[in-house]
Structure 1
Amino acid sequence: MMKFSNKISMVVLLCLLIIGLQSGLVYAASPNFMADTPTFVFSDDSSARFNTASDQDVTIYYLVTDTVSPPPLSEEVKTGEDYGGVTIITSGNTPAVIDEMTQVNIIGLEPGSPYNAYFVLENSSHELSEVRMIESFETQVSTYTFTYNGNGNTGGAVPIDGTSYYSADIATVNGNTGNLVRTGYTFAGWNTLADGNGTSYGEDDTFVIGTSNVTLYAHWTSIDYTDASLSGLTISSGLLNPVFQLNERVFTVSVANNISSITVTPVDEDEQQATIKVNGVNATSGQAFPVNLNVGSNTIIVVVMAHDGEATETYTITVTRAASSGGNSRKRTTTPPSVPQEAVAIVVNGKVESAGTETKTTDEDKSVVLVKANSQVIESIIEDAIINDNQTGSNNLIQILVNDTISDVAKVELTGDMIKRFEDNTFDLSIKRDNVEYLIPAGAFTISTVGKDLGVTDTSLIDIIIEVKITKLDASVVKKYNEVAKANGVTFIFPPIAFEIIAKTTKADGATVEVAINKFNNYLERIMEIPPEVDPSKITTGVVFNPDGTYSHVPTEVYQKEGKWYARLKSLTNSHYSVAWNLITVKSVENHWSKDAVNDMASRLVILHAERFNPDKAITRADFTDYIIRALGLYRVGSNNEIKFKDVNTKDEGTQAIRIAHAYYIVTGYPDGTFRPDQMITREEAMVIYQRAMVITKLIGVDQNRYQSYTDYEEVEEWATSYVREVLSAHVFNGTTATTITPKANLTYAEAAQAIKNLLVTSKLINK
Structure 2
Amino acid sequence: MTLQQTFYKPLMAAMLAFALLLSGLSFGSTSVHATAGTPVQLTIGDVSVNTGRTVDVPVSIKQLERGIGSYNVQLNYDPKALEIISVTPKYGNADTDTCSESEEGCFLSNIDADNGWIRVIWVDTTGGDRLISEAKQLFVIQIKAKSGSELTKQALTIDAEDPANLTFTDGDMHSLPVSVTEGKITVYPNPPADTGKVKVIVDGKDQGESATLSSVIVNGRNVTTISVDNDKVAEQLNKNQIKRLTLPVDGNRDIVVGELNGQLVKLMENADAALVIQTNQASYTLSASQMNIDQVAGQLGTGAALQDIKIHVTIAAAESPEQVEQAAEASGASLVAAPVNFEVTASYRGKSITIDRFSNYVNRTIAIPDGVDPSRITTGIVLNSDGTVHHVPTQITQVNGHYYAQINSLTNSTYAVVWHSKTFADVTNHWAKADINDLASRMVIQGVSADQFAPDRSVTRAEFTAILLRALGIHAVKDDAKVSFKDVRATAWYHDAVIQAVSYGLITGYADGSFHPNASISREEAIVMINRASAMTSLVQASASETAGLISQFSDNTSIDSWAHAAVASGAKQGIVKGTKGKLLPQQPITRAESAVMMKRMLVAAGLINP
Q: Scaled by the length of structure 1, what TM-score is found?
A: 0.52
Give the drift of 1:722: 2.3
The letter for the 2-side match of 1:436 is A
Q: Which residue of 2 aligns with 1:631?
A: 471
1:584 aligns with 2:422: yes
1:416 aligns with 2:229: no
1:355 aligns with 2:210: yes
Q: 2:386 aligns with which of 540, 548, 566?
A: 548
User: What is the alpha-carbon distance in structure 2 between the residues aligned to residue 570 and residue 603 of structure 1?
Assistant: 17
User: What is the alpha-carbon distance in structure 2 between the residues aligned to residue 368 and residue 560 of structure 1?
Assistant: 28
Q: Which residue of 1 aligns with 2:533?
A: 693
Q: Which residue of 1 aligns with 2:6?
A: none
User: What is the alpha-carbon distance in structure 2 between the residues aligned to residue 423 and residue 664 of structure 1?
Assistant: 23
CA pair 733-643 structure 1, distance change in 2 beyond 3 A: same
Larger displacement relative to structure 2 (650-659 or 514-523): 650-659
Residues 378 and 421, structure 2, Cα contact 8 Å, conserved in 1? yes
User: What is the alpha-carbon distance in structure 2 between the residues aligned to residue 469 and residue 518 of structure 1?
Assistant: 12
1:725 aligns with 2:569: yes
Q: Which residue of 2 aligns with 1:712?
A: 556
Residues 518 and 574, structure 1, Cα contact 8 Å, conserved in 2? yes
C-alpha distance after superposition, 1:522-581 (max 9, x if no partner):
211111121121011111111111123211011111111221111100001000001110
Q: How many residue pairs end up in the alignment? A: 417
The residue matched to 2:436 in structure 1 has which SS?
helix
Residues 727 and 733, structure 1, Cα contact 8 Å, conserved in 2? yes
1:399 aligns with 2:246: yes
The residue matched to 1:596 in structure 2 has which SS?
helix
C-alpha distance after superposition, 1:260-317 (max 9, x if no partner):
xxxxxxxxxxxxxxxxxxxxxxxxxxxxxxxxxx9xxxxxxxxxxxxxxxxxxxxxxx
Residues 348 and 382, structure 1, Cα contact 8 Å, conserved in 2? no
Q: Which residue of 1 aligns with 2:228?
A: 373
Q: Which residue of 2 aligns with 1:284?
A: none
Asked which structure has the greater CA Rg, the reply is: 1
Written as runs of structure 1 = structure 2, the 5 A alignment for 1:288-367 is: 341-353=195-207, 354-363=209-218, 366-367=221-222
User: What is the alpha-carbon distance in structure 2 between the residues aligned to residue 639 and residue 504 of structure 1?
Assistant: 21
Amino-acid identity (%): 34
1:570 aligns with 2:408: yes
The letter for the 2-side match of 1:727 is G
C-alpha distance after superposition, 1:648-704 (max 9, x if no partner):
122445432212101111011112211111110011111111111112111114575
The residue matched to 1:524 in structure 2 has which SS?
strand
Which protein is richer in helix relative to its size? 2
Q: Which residue of 1 aligns with 2:133?
A: none
Give the drift of 1:362: 4.2
The letter for the 1-side match of 2:282 is V
Residues 553 and 605, structure 1, Cα contact 8 Å, conserved in 2? yes
Q: Which residue of 2 aligns with 1:100?
A: none
1:492 aligns with 2:335: yes
Q: 2:586 aligns with which of 725, 737, 743?
A: 743
Larger displacement relative to structure 2 (531-540 or 608-617): 608-617
Q: 2:308 aligns with which of 443, 451, 463?
A: 463
Residues 356 and 412, structure 2, Cα contact 8 Å, conserved in 1? yes
Give the drift of 1:364: 5.9
User: What is the alpha-carbon distance in structure 1 between the residues aligned to residue 604 and residue 292 of structure 2?
Assistant: 28
Residues 499 and 574, structure 1, Cα contact 8 Å, conserved in 2? yes
Q: Which residue of 2 aligns with 1:52?
A: none
User: What is the alpha-carbon distance in structure 2 between the residues aligned to residue 381 and residue 532 of structure 1?
Assistant: 38
The letter for the 2-side match of 1:428 is A
Residues 546 and 637, structure 1, Cα contact 8 Å, conserved in 2? no
Give the drift of 1:456: 5.2
User: What is the alpha-carbon distance in structure 1 between the residues aligned to residue 609 and residue 192 of structure 2?
Assistant: 48
Which of the pair has the greater relative contact order for Cα pairs under 8 Å at 6+ separation? 2
C-alpha distance after superposition, 1:700-738 (max 9, x if no partner):
145753211112112122222222222222221221222
Give the drift of 1:467: 0.6
The letter for the 1-side match of 2:244 is L
User: What is the alpha-carbon distance in structure 1 between the residues aligned to residue 479 and residue 271 of structure 2?
Assistant: 34
The letter for the 2-side match of 1:502 is T
Give the drift of 1:380: 2.6
Consecutive unaligned residues of structure 1, counting only runs of 5 or more, are: 1-293, 295-335, 507-511
Written as runs of structure 1 = structure 2, the 5 A alignment for 1:662-677 is: 662-677=502-517
Residues 707 and 729, structure 1, Cα contact 8 Å, conserved in 2? no
Q: Which residue of 1 aligns with 2:495?
A: 655
User: What is the alpha-carbon distance in structure 2 between the residues aligned to residue 404 and residue 714 of structure 1?
Assistant: 62
CA pair 637-667 structure 1, distance change in 2 beyond 3 A: closer
1:446 aligns with 2:446: no
Written as runs of structure 1 = structure 2, the 5 A alignment for 1:2-13 is: none
Q: 2:271 aligns with which of 407, 415, 425?
A: 425
User: What is the alpha-carbon distance in structure 1 between the residues aligned to residue 453 and residue 481 of structure 2?
Assistant: 28
The residue matched to 2:361 in structure 1 has which SS?
strand
Give the drift of 1:637: 10
User: What is the alpha-carbon distance in structure 1 between the residues aligned to residue 303 and residue 538 of structure 2?
Assistant: 30
Written as runs of structure 1 = structure 2, the 5 A alignment for 1:465-544 is: 465-474=310-319, 477-506=320-349, 512-544=350-382
The letter for the 2-side match of 1:710 is F
Residues 317 and 339, structure 2, Cα contact 8 Å, conserved in 1? yes
CA pair 653-497 structure 1, distance change in 2 beyond 3 A: farther
User: What is the alpha-carbon distance in structure 2 between the residues aligned to residue 479 and residue 516 of structure 1?
Assistant: 24
Residues 269 and 288, structure 2, Cα contact 8 Å, conserved in 1? yes
Give the drift of 1:639: 9.9
The letter for the 1-side match of 2:344 is I
User: What is the alpha-carbon distance in structure 1 between the residues aligned to residue 192 and residue 603 of structure 2?
Assistant: 52
User: What is the alpha-carbon distance in structure 2 between the residues aligned to residue 448 and residue 420 of structure 1?
Assistant: 8
User: What is the alpha-carbon distance in structure 2 between the residues aligned to residue 445 and residue 689 of structure 1?
Assistant: 27
CA pair 375-637 structure 1, distance change in 2 beyond 3 A: closer
C-alpha distance after superposition, 1:579-628 (max 9, x if no partner):
11001112221101101111111011101236341111111111111110
Consecutive unaligned residues of structure 2, counting only runs of 5 or more, are: 1-145, 147-189
Residues 384 and 475, structure 2, Cα contact 8 Å, conserved in 1? no
The letter for the 2-side match of 1:758 is R
The residue matched to 2:587 in structure 1 has which SS?
coil
Residues 344 and 400, structure 1, Cα contact 8 Å, conserved in 2? no
CA pair 682-457 structure 1, distance change in 2 beyond 3 A: farther
Residues 429 and 439, structure 1, Cα contact 8 Å, conserved in 2? yes
User: What is the alpha-carbon distance in structure 2 between the residues aligned to residue 337 and residue 444 of structure 1?
Assistant: 34
User: What is the alpha-carbon distance in structure 2 between the residues aligned to residue 542 and residue 453 of structure 1?
Assistant: 32
User: What is the alpha-carbon distance in structure 2 between the residues aligned to residue 363 and residue 578 of structure 1?
Assistant: 23
The residue matched to 1:754 in structure 2 has which SS?
helix
Residues 344 and 401, structure 1, Cα contact 8 Å, conserved in 2? no
User: What is the alpha-carbon distance in structure 1 between the residues aligned to residue 524 and residue 576 of structure 2?
Assistant: 13
Give the drift of 1:365: 6.0
User: What is the alpha-carbon distance in structure 2 between the residues aligned to residue 598 and residue 371 of structure 1?
Assistant: 44
CA pair 612-587 structure 1, distance change in 2 beyond 3 A: closer
User: What is the alpha-carbon distance in structure 1 between the residues aligned to residue 192 and residue 532 of structure 2?
Assistant: 56
Q: Scaled by the length of structure 2, what TM-score is found?
A: 0.65
The residue matched to 1:750 in structure 2 has which SS?
helix
User: What is the alpha-carbon distance in structure 1 between the residues aligned to residue 434 and residue 192 of structure 2?
Assistant: 60
The letter for the 2-side match of 1:750 is A
Q: Which residue of 2 aligns with 1:678?
A: 518
Residues 283 and 366, structure 2, Cα contact 8 Å, conserved in 1? yes
Residues 477 and 503, structure 2, Cα contact 8 Å, conserved in 1? no
Residues 642 and 650, structure 1, Cα contact 8 Å, conserved in 2? no
CA pair 456-345 structure 1, distance change in 2 beyond 3 A: farther
